[in-house]
Amino acid sequence: LAGYSNHVFINPKNIKDFENELKLLQELESPYIVRYVTCAADKDFYYLANHLCEYDLVDYMEYLRQPEQKDRKETSLRRIVEEMLLGLQVLHRAGVVHRDIKPRNVLIARSDDLKLKQHGAFHVTRH
């Protein structure tokens, strides 16, 4: 279930925004958005469990640099760009702006499927 360690400190003033974002993420059905399974909390942190993703984009690019991956590197890079754009399109159509696109917020599953993530980086523009 859990891929990357997902524990975040939430400022008490932002708890409602965080909870709304989690609800939105659970409603978004897309192969390009990280699917959060559950959330737990203690006095300092929220802990998120999401579907397993073996790599973030930094680690995946390092993996593709290996000599034995040479033949699939170009195809993989094209697919990454395409799936990232499709994920952003899903968010845009839902009225959501991702405010923190960076390699650590792009996850890759073992099946080579790309997933966008980031708690606290989505901004809902719809009303």
Walk across the sheet containing 106-108 and list its strands. 55-56, 106-108, 114-116
Closest CA to 58 of 106, 98, 112, 99: 106
Identify whether the C-beta of residue 51 lies closer than 8 Å to the C-beta of residue 1. yes
Kindly name the residue from 17, 42, 59, 100 that is annotated as catalytic. 100
Is 100 labeled as catalytic in the residue annotation? yes
> What tokens appear for 29 in the block?
């059905």
Tell me the pairing of strands 46-50 and 55-56. Answer: unpaired
The residues annotated with a catalytic role in the active site are 100
